[in-house]
Structure 1
């Protein structure tokens, strides 16, 4: 498994993910993006230095996406997000991809802290994040709206020195 920068040729895979209500609900985002809109967003964000998007792949097969968002070079922190295609879940790709994203954040971007938001009911993801070393920092009550109702979210974080252990 490896990560590589998201390319315009990957947009068809992203289109499939972004048009799944179930997948986008995990990111607390609205589903159903047109392909034209997706291309426009790609063009708009490709040079944005506050974001990095990576494709997770195995043997040139698209597995998912890891994103570093809200990269703050002054305070040296960033949010990490991940989606693994449902066909590849349960095979350890999420943990490997998160570690690759963290390696990039800490060792290339020199971040001090990486944080994430996760639905309190997403126990498989929480388990993976804790296994990697993320610590629960708080609970945001009814913070995100998805699938017709509000969800509580955990905010979890990890510092470079905690990850390096």
Structure 2
């Protein structure tokens, strides 16, 4: 990421649909983004699913990752537990945005939203063990490994471990001093 690039989170617009569909239709990285079997969706089916999710409160905390006015991915909270004050986070980037620090910065911004605006006390995620770049990025954002589910995911012809990571508001570097 260049020093001039500004990573922001914002609501989705119609202009973002091409970039977001590029992510959704990328079968090479399906397992990094989805727990289920890879499926090629038509653009129409994908858009219908987005419209359905827009009305589902469980998916209402989704943002477009914007770099200098262009959509390069999405990040969101789901499975929000209003009583225990925790949620799972998911993130995905277009191929040209990976490996540039954009995902780490977007995750930091998502954590700020979760802890400051959403009043959550814990955020967690799951990642396949072979996705070392993502694990490093999550660690840079403050996540710690909490556990591992052995051979839990079927990924490109073999079983892989799922690494569970989390961060507490008290561990978050943006937390106000006590």
- TM-score, normalized by the shorter chain, greater than 0.5: yes
2:3 matched to which residue of 1? none
Aligned positions, number: 165
- Check conservation: 2:143, 2:167, Cα contact below 8 A: yes
Gaps of at least 5 residues in structure 2 are 1-6
Residue in structure 1 matched with residue 19 of structure 2 by the alignment = 13
Runs of 4+ in 1 over 4 A off after TM superposition: none
| 1:76-119 CA distance string (max 9 Å, x none) | 11111111212122221011100111111111111111000011
User: Which residue of structure 2 lines up, in the alignment, with residue 40 of structure 1?
Assistant: 48
Q: Provide TM-score, normalisation by structure 1.
A: 0.91
Structure number with bigger Rg:
2
- Is the 1:114–1:157 Cα contact (8 Å) retained in structure 2? yes
Could you tell me how far 1:8 is from its partner in structure 2?
A: 4.5
Q: Write the mapping of 1:71-90 to structure 2, written as runs, cut at 5 A.
A: 71-90=80-99
> What is the match of residue 49 of structure 1?
57
Task: Provide the secondary structure at the position in 2 that maps to 1:50.
Answer: helix
Q: Is the 8 A contact 1:20 1:31 kept in 2?
A: no
Match of 1:152 in 2: 161
**TM-score between both structures, scaled by the size of structure 2:** 0.85
Q: Secondary structure at the match of 1:151?
A: strand
Q: Distance in 2 between matches of 1:4 and 1:14?
A: 13
From 115, 128, 139, the equivalent of 1:106 is 115
